[in-house]
Amino acid sequence: MANRRKRIWITRTEPAASGTAAQVRERGHDPWVMPLLEVRPQATEPLDLSGVGALAFTSNNGVRAFCDLSSERQIRVFAVGAATAKAAWAAGFRRVLSSDRDVSVLAQGIVERRREITGVVLHPGALEPAGDLVAALESQGMAARGVAIYDTCPTVLTDDQIAEMAEMDVALVHSAKAAEVLATLLRQHPLPHLGVAGLSRETLKPLARSPLAWKTAAAKPLEATLLDLID
């Protein structure tokens, strides 16, 4: 049964969801792209980058939202995860360093390079960030500030989409906020046959009490490692 063709629910936001769908197809499974969150801009005015010595991104949504507000691409970038780093490179940044784990590891990496940074570390991110990068940097004596440039809001599913949920074998969950939305949906529409693969243990915490066939976290918060859990 391990190699059975499966229907995989991709819950992450677009456009990243479509990239995940392509990889799912390459692995011989059928993707269903139905994001549980949608990205909404929180800022419209150009960002004030005066005194900023480095940018810190904790998601590819943050990179895209920043690029909609600023044409600056010369500042050093620190990023969480390969996907975020890839988005920064694709956007035109040329000095990009990444951490393959979480915000705390990213903060440590920035602190280790503090002598290379002249100015404030700016964290353009979500209205409700998953981790407090600014506090982690300030606790180490570094100047840092955050700015909310986007928000992720629950998607309103139609009756047809809710019916489609029941046909899924595995749901891929990339964030704790998406897991919260999924947990709420499962209270209203139980899916005890559904398996859930999460990008990390932290990601899966909101689903702790949800009745599921199984749930497991990737050993490393990497897309490839997450996709390995499908089988």
Chain segment 113-136, per-residue pLDDT in tens: 999 999 999 999 999 887 799 999
Strand partners, 122: 55, 145
Nearest to 130 by CA among 74, 203, 181: 203
Domain residue spans of the chain: 7-36+156-228, 40-152
Q: What number of CA atoms fall less than 13 Å from residue 159's CA on the CB side?
A: 0
d(C-alpha 43, C-alpha 145), whole Å: 16
Give per-residue pLDDT as tens, 175-220: 999 999 999 999 999 999 999 999 989 899 999 999 999 999 999 8
d(C-alpha 122, C-alpha 145), whole Å: 5
Task: Please give the distance of CA 138 from its chain centroid, rounded to a whole number.
Answer: 23
The secondary structure of 186-219 as a DSSP string is: HHHS--TT-EEEESSHHHHGGGTTS--SEEEE-S
Domain 40-152 in the same topology as domain 7-36+156-228: yes
Q: Which CATH code is given to the segment(s) 40-152?
A: 3.40.50.10090
- On the question of pLDDT at 5 being above 60, the answer is yes
Mean of pLDDT values over 9-33: 95
Q: Quick check: 84 and 62 in contact, CB under 8 A?
A: yes
Q: Which CATH code is given to the segment(s) 7-36+156-228?
A: 3.40.50.10090
